[in-house]
């Protein structure tokens, strides 16, 4: 099963993609956006692989891109144990805007929503609070948050993934 907002790999490339649409009623076709260059693909569901740790895959992608690409004459960021992922993510967003690579922002939204719900998933944490927290994180990164419907869809993805992982761990 695939859901818009999940990270995936395809059989056409070993680079990370974000799923932007899924049409089960059209023969299980998935639309993907390659995060390295914005290439849009439509592939059969069987041709993609959704990693178990999509958040980790996205983090790896961000760190790899930020440490290898320069930004406006600046040197690429150096990998360092003291550099937090937030620093890499800030640079990633800055690079996306500077290079006109706005397709990467959808991956950032998906990452934030999945990370937020995974970190704070407990009975007293509501979807309303999660949406507020995601909007705050978007503001901190200097990006316009998506609509409430997109945010709720990304949160639903995180909830479904947690549910699948819990069911799988009890069997």
139, 145 contact by CB (below 8 A): yes
Report helix, strand or coil for 121: coil
Report helix, strand or coil for 101: coil
- Is 70 exceeded by the pLDDT of residue 170? no
Reported as a single tens digit per residue, the pLDDT across 25-63 is 888 999 999 999 999 999 999 999 999 899 999 999 999
145, 135 contact by CB (below 8 A): yes
pLDDT band with cut points at 50, 70 and 90 for residue 171: very low
* pLDDT score for 110: 87
Domain ranges of the chain: 7-49, 54-170
70 C-beta neighbours (distance < 10 Å), count = 10
5, 19 contact by CB (below 8 A): yes
* pLDDT score for 61: 96
Reported as a single tens digit per residue, the pLDDT across 110-148 is 899 888 877 776 777 777 888 888 889 999 999 988 888
* pLDDT score for 33: 96
């Amino acid at each position: 099963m695939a859901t818009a907002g999940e990270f995936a790999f395809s059989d056409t490339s070993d680079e990370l993609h974000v799923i932007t649409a899924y049409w089960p009623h059209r023969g299980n076709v998935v639309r993907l956006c390659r995060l390295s260059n914005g290439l849009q693909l439509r592939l059969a569901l069987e041709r993609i692989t959704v990693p178990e740790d999509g958040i980790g895959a996205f983090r790896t992608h961000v760190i790899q891109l930020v440490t290898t690409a320069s930004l406006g004459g600046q040197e690429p960021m150096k990998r360092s144990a003291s550099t937090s992922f937030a620093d890499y993510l800030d640079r990633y967003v800055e690079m996306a805007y500077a290079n006109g690579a706005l397709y990467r922002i959808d991956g950032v939204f998906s990452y934030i929503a999945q990370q937020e719900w995974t970190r704070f998933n407990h009975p007293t944490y509501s979807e309303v609070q999660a949406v507020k927290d995601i909007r705050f994180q978007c503001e901190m990164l200097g990006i316009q948050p998506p609509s409430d419907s997109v945010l709720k869809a990304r949160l639903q993805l995180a909830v479904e993934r947690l549910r699948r992982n819990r069911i799988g761990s009890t069997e």
